[in-house]
Amino acid sequence: MSPAAPARPDDGAACAPLFSVIVNNYNYLRYLPVAIASIQGQTFRDFELIVVDDGSDDGSIEYLESIRTGLTLIRTNRLNQARACLAGIAHARGRYVYILDADDFAAPDLLETVARRLAEAPAKVQFRLVPVGDDGAPFAPAYPDIDGRDDETTQREQIRRYGMPASPPTSGNIFRRDLFAVIDDVDYEAAIDGVTLLYAPFAGRVVSLSRPLAFYRVHEHSTSAHAKPLDPDRIGRDRRRFESRLAHLNALLGEHHPGVAPAPAAAVFFFHWDHLTLEQVARGLAVGPAVALNYGWRLLREHGLGRFTAKKLAWLAIAMLAPRGIKDRALAIRRNPWPRRARRVLVPGADVITPERT
């Protein structure tokens, strides 16, 4: 039996669904049927399904037209993921929005599990994801390492200390719909989950579930940096979009939460300096002493002494002193953590949920 839904905020929303599920697609026909089936097979039925296709030319539109019953199709023209998703959200009626990337898929009781945690109207519910390969088979433990302690207070502290909260990517989050009206537009990057993840802990409660509830597909066609070959331009873009996300967050805080202190500028954080070393090595440039000093100081300030710091200092030594071939191998490992994660032992029943077969 599905859990009782939380009370609606007003009588006008009485006939609206609790959830709006947005599946965003661009040329993912090979994965799209599994994503849609995973939503249509949910045990909790109080939802609407909206599929946004951002100009696919691989047969996705023909497929979606053939199964039009039970979903709303929104067609956009190469807007990028963020703006295509916002176009879908503009048509959404649910109180909460779940954005599912078309190459990912959900566990059958995802919405049912999340619905039980909405009594206090949190700004966001997040959960772990199981990495799967192109064939949909799990190959690594669920991530990230979150649990009930990762609430809005913890995430605010993480943003001020690290520049980002501990959070899964897009398909591991369900947001209260009104957040997107505040965010309004994202004109500096293609990802929808950047500033949304940053703003959520300032907009209300954050509920973190340690149980994995969806599958994150890692494959060669993915837009994820982890699935792409080494690209110094992309590393530079990652660093610059980090700056833009924090600037966007501070603009939102200044306008909607004037009593909240702004987050520090991007250059204060280790992430900025870590990616600067990555970019310089990828371009064949030397990592100079000024960059190294900022890197080391901010690493120790944020993370203290420990295994993480030791690994990062080892990278810095390689970036400054190692021959080019060793630098390139180390850089490739830094940019793709999945092979190392896959070597870890999976614990049956703890980190893996059974994929829905279609």
- Residue 197 CA to residue 92 CA, distance in Å, equals 19
- Residue 282 CA to residue 315 CA, distance in Å, equals 13
Answer whether 315's CB lies under 8 Å from 327's CB: no
The pLDDT, as a whole number, for residue 266 is: 93
The pLDDT, as a whole number, for residue 343 is: 43
The pLDDT, as a whole number, for residue 68 is: 81
The pLDDT, as a whole number, for residue 15 is: 84
- Residue 280 CA to residue 297 CA, distance in Å, equals 19
- Residue 158 CA to residue 153 CA, distance in Å, equals 9
Give Cα 8 to chain centroid, integer Å: 27
- Residue 83 CA to residue 90 CA, distance in Å, equals 10
Question: Comparing C-alpha atoms, which of 263, 261, 85 is closest to residue 183?
Answer: 85
- Give residues with Cβ within 8 angstroms of 301, minimum separation 6: 270
Question: Comparing C-alpha atoms, which of 164, 228, 233 is closest to residue 194?
Answer: 164
* E strands, 171-236, in order: 173-176, 206-217
The pLDDT, as a whole number, for residue 319 is: 94
The pLDDT, as a whole number, for residue 231 is: 79
Model confidence over 74-133: pLDDT tens digits? 999 999 989 999 999 999 999 999 999 999 999 999 999 999 999 999 999 999 999 999
- Residue 143 CA to residue 164 CA, distance in Å, equals 16
* E strands, the chain, in order: 19-25, 47-53, 72-75, 96-101, 105-106, 124-132, 173-176, 206-217
Burial (CB count within 10 angstroms: exposed 0-12, middle 13-18, buried 19+), residue 307: exposed
Q: What are phi and psi of 49, to 5 degrees?
A: -115, 120
Does a cis peptide bond (omega within 30 degrees of 0) precede residue 144? Answer: yes
Q: Which residues of the chain have pLDDT under 50?
A: 1-12, 225, 227, 340-352, 354-358
